[in-house]
Amino acid sequence: MKKILAKKIEMTQIFDETGEVFPVTLVMPIPSADQVAKSDNQEKEDLADMAEGDVVTVSGKSKGKGFQGVVKRHGFKGGRRSHGQKHSEREPGSIGGGGRAGGRVIKGMRMAGRMGNERVTIKNLKIIKILPETHEIFIGGAIPGRRGSVVEIVTK
């Protein structure tokens, strides 16, 4: 098992010999503190441990989306759009009551709040292509984070 840190560059697509298209994410390895003193030869050694077709796990922070309501954050349906609904179309509805909760809001109630900016792990992604001369790794599919964010790549 080999771990490297990489910088997410962008999403793009690659065509194979048969003309089939693959959505990929381009990442570039980041030299760690001890690798900086050894120059970029260490990056090439990291890439030598990986091969096209390897299955990897990628972890990183998801994009932050700021403060969001319950419809976007938790997928609530919202209220009806007719029969006297004026400003309550995207509200959560009742959050407490005299039932089991005893007139208080129970812990874990899904409400509006900050969304995103959490650690996300995507498993079983495949390395589609490696370009050692430019230190580029193309990983099939989407990985978490915005452009320029740091991700952790673990090979099995």
Query: Can you give the pLDDT of all 156 residues of the chain as single tens digits?
Result: 889 999 999 999 999 889 999 999 999 999 865 444 444 555 566 777 889 999 999 999 999 999 999 999 999 998 888 888 788 888 888 887 777 767 788 888 999 999 999 999 999 999 999 999 999 999 999 999 999 999 999 998
Domain spans of the chain? 2-63+117-155, 68-115
17: left (phi over 0), alpha (psi -120 to 50) or beta: alpha
Which residue pairs, CB below 8 angstroms and at least 24 apart, start in 64-69? Answer: 64/114, 64/115, 64/116, 64/117, 65/115, 65/116, 65/117, 66/114, 66/115, 66/116, 67/112, 67/113, 67/114, 67/115, 68/112, 68/113, 68/114, 68/115, 69/112
Q: Rounded to two decimals, what is the model's pTM?
A: 0.80
Fold topology of 2-63+117-155: Elongation Factor Tu (Ef-tu); domain 3 (2.40.30)
116 forms beta bridges with 64
